[in-house]
Structure formats: C-alpha cells, structure tokens
Amino acid sequence: MRDGWIAPQRLFDGARLHEGPGLRIAGGIVAEVGPAPAEALALPGTVTPGYVDLQVNGGGGVLLNTSPTPEGMAAIAAAHRRFGTVALLPTLITDAPEVMERAVDAALAAKGAEGIAGIHLEGPHIALARKGTHAPRFIRPLDDRTVDCVRRLREGGVRVMVTLAPEAVAPGRIAALRDMGAVVSLGHTDATFAAAQAALAEGANCFTHLFNAMSPLTHRAPGVVGAALDSMMPAGIICDGVHVEDEVVAIALRARRAADLMFLVSDAMPTVGGPDHFRLYDMELRVQDGRLVNPEGSLAGAHVTMAQSVARLIARVGVAPEAALRMAVTVPARVIGAPDLALLTGRRVEDVLALAPDWSVSGTLAGLPG
C-alpha cells in the first residue's frame, strides 16, 4: 500500500491489544503507532505482527527430512506465509546423522532468508517408548555428532531448538547445549517427574508439544506433563482439536503458574498448502477427516496452520484474543531470543497481518488498497 495512516478496529502491538491507535506506513515500513488522523484508511478487524511458529516439519508439499536444503526451507516458509506465519523454525524430525548434517548446512546457508528464523532438531535423541511417528531405526542417545551440529549452528549465528528426552542424554550434555545458546526442549520422552525436573535444573528451558509424546500426568506419577505444568518454562501446544482436546488446552492454560508460559505450534506437515498425502521414511501419510495419519491410522504430525489455531483458541477454547495473539507471536519470539518478531514498529508491511473480525487472516498490509 501507499504511505499513510491506517486505522484498524483493533491493533496488537506485540504486548497488548488496543482499540483506537493507528499506524503510519512509510516506504513499506510501519514507521509509527499512535493516534490516527481523520483521513486514515479505516480497516475492520485487527492488525498484528505475523505469526511465529517454532515447529514446522513441512509445507507446500515439501518435507524438510526429504528436502534438507535452503530451497526446501524456502518452499516451506513460503507455503506457511500464505497463512499468516511470517517466521518459523523448519523442523527436522528423527533421521540419519548425515540428513541432520545436510539440514544444518542448509540452515547456515539460509540464515537471514525470508521467514526462516533458525532450525528445530526434533530428535533423534528421544525415547523409543514415546517415538510417535519417528523411525525407531534412527533413534540414538545424544552424541558428539549432534553436539558438533549445534555448535556449528550457534557459531554461525543460527538459532536452534533441540527436542530431546532426558533419558537419552548423559549428565552434563544439556548444560553444554545451553551454554552454546541452544533452546533445549523436553519432548518425546517417558521420563519421570523427577528426571524432568533434573533436566530443567541442568538447563532445559522448554517443552515440545505438551501432552503429545510424553509421560502423562496421573494422580501418583506427575510425569513430564506434570513437570511442564508445574515449571516456569514455556511449552508449545498444538491447538487443532485433534492432538489435544480443546477442554484440555483450557485446563493447561489455567494450570500454569504464570501468564505467557504457553505458545502455539502447528507441527505442520507438507499437506499444509500442498497435496493431501506425502511420504515420510518408507510410508505414506494422508489427511483423513482433518487428521494426518499413517497407514495404521495413528496421528503423524498435524494438518493445521497457526491462523486456524489462533481462531480456534479464541472461538472454541475461550482464550481472550490478546492472550491468543501473545501465544502466536510474543511468546514464541521470546523463546528463541528474537523479540523483534513481536514488534510492529519497524516491520515490513509484508510481515504485518490484517485479521478479519472472525480472526481469520485477510492478508498482509502489503495487500491493502492504495
């Protein structure tokens, strides 16, 4: 759009949802947020920084595991940008060491590319008992080869999240990864409550897709779910009505010890913005009745966007819009140490969303008339 003022019905500035303020565009950048003049372009709905997704396996028909290249990452980012996600971590699930090394090379080459905020290594250092759709033949304890990959990423200035199980890691390894600046997230684990707490004490600082692929909370064994809910560390959660029931999402939010300890992830696969099926390892996964399943009918990743998740949080779970937007923008940006991704001022119009009154994504400010 041309330079000038926009007066949206609501404006989320990365911290609060406001009614009244406008924003001034200059040279394709949000230059100012403040009182809008009378001649400002009125806009129904809400303006917000674009969504930040820390767990994206694929999109647009592309799976990172089978296309661990800069081009593969770019295709995934472009597919999700169509649905309001402007920054993401391409996510490599459990695979052979050489596939991880190729993905690391790709992340280093793609540093600074549009929409790519780093990389998420989800496994292979996980518990066989909580593997989900991850191939058991590649699961192994944390080794020097992976540590070297993380070191290369961090020395190259690339943000990295590592999902691992405490039982797959020798003492001191979590601390070493944290000292490098990696986000160490506990997931795909059958650890006890005490083991999870020990991992947190050593430096683990996040949880991967809460409830899914982790030891559950029961009345005599709190498990990793209990450790997550009782901690002050952030946890990702999939809000598609399939991986976690809406009522359980609401319970988890109420159970946390403070605000801003939960964030949305899509855990999206290539079917988002792509065909309804793809191959992972040696099997075909397919969307059936809105669920992404393997040949046995078990869940295998998710077929959902961040935009759908935000709308569901508000309409079905009953989360206040401001809190839902913080879960999709502010908290994930903070988790990876990129607070600028939650700002409006200074952002390109292509990275700022216009949301319809029903919280669906209408487009970006770049697509407004003028």
| Residue 298 confidence class, pLDDT cut points 50, 70, 90 | confident
3-class secondary structure per residue, 83-147: CCEEEEEEEEECCCHHHHHHHHHHHHHCCCCCCECCEEEECCCCCHHHCCCCCHHHCCCCCHHHH
Question: Which residue(s) pair with 268 in the sheet?
Answer: 56, 302
Answer whether residue 290 shows pLDDT above 90: no
| Residue 297 confidence class, pLDDT cut points 50, 70, 90 | confident
- The C-alpha atoms of residue 260 and residue 203 are separated, in whole angstroms, by 19
Q: What is the pLDDT of residue 370?
A: 59
Residue type, position 136, single letter: P
Question: Which residue(s) pair with 156 in the sheet?
Answer: none
Answer whether residue 286 shows pLDDT above 90: yes
CATH superfamily of 4-49+345-367: Urease, subunit C, domain 1 (2.30.40.10)
Q: Residue range 156-168: average pLDDT? A: 98
Catalytic residues: 267
For the chain, the domains span 4-49+345-367, 51-337
Q: Residue range 175-203: average pLDDT? A: 98
Question: Which residue(s) pair with 189 in the sheet?
Answer: 214
Name the strand (E) or helix (H) holding 73: helix 70-81
Answer whether residue 227 shows pLDDT above 70: yes
Q: Residue range 206-235: average pLDDT? A: 98
Give the full edge-to-edge strand order of the sheet including 283-288.
Answer: 277-280, 283-288, 291-293
- The C-alpha atoms of residue 245 and residue 2 are separated, in whole angstroms, by 44
Q: Residue range 166-186: average pLDDT? A: 98
User: What share of the chain in percent tops pLDDT 70?
Assistant: 99
| Residue 1 confidence class, pLDDT cut points 50, 70, 90 | low
Q: Which two tokens stand for residue 320?
A: 């206040």
| Residue 369 confidence class, pLDDT cut points 50, 70, 90 | confident
Q: What is the pLDDT of residue 295?
A: 86
User: The domain 51-337: what is its CATH number?
Assistant: 3.20.20.140
Q: Which of 38-42, 136-140, 220-224 has the lowest mean pLDDT?
A: 38-42
Q: What is the pLDDT of residue 148?
A: 98
Q: Give tens-digit pLDDT for 92-144.
A: 999 999 999 999 999 999 999 999 999 999 999 999 999 999 999 999 999 99
How distant, in Å, are the alpha carbons of 3, 32, 79, 93, 357 from that of 344? 16, 9, 23, 32, 20
User: What share of the chain in percent tops pLDDT 90?
Assistant: 95
Q: Residue range 149-168: average pLDDT? A: 98
- The C-alpha atoms of residue 327 and residue 322 are separated, in whole angstroms, by 9
- The C-alpha atoms of residue 286 and residue 278 are separated, in whole angstroms, by 7
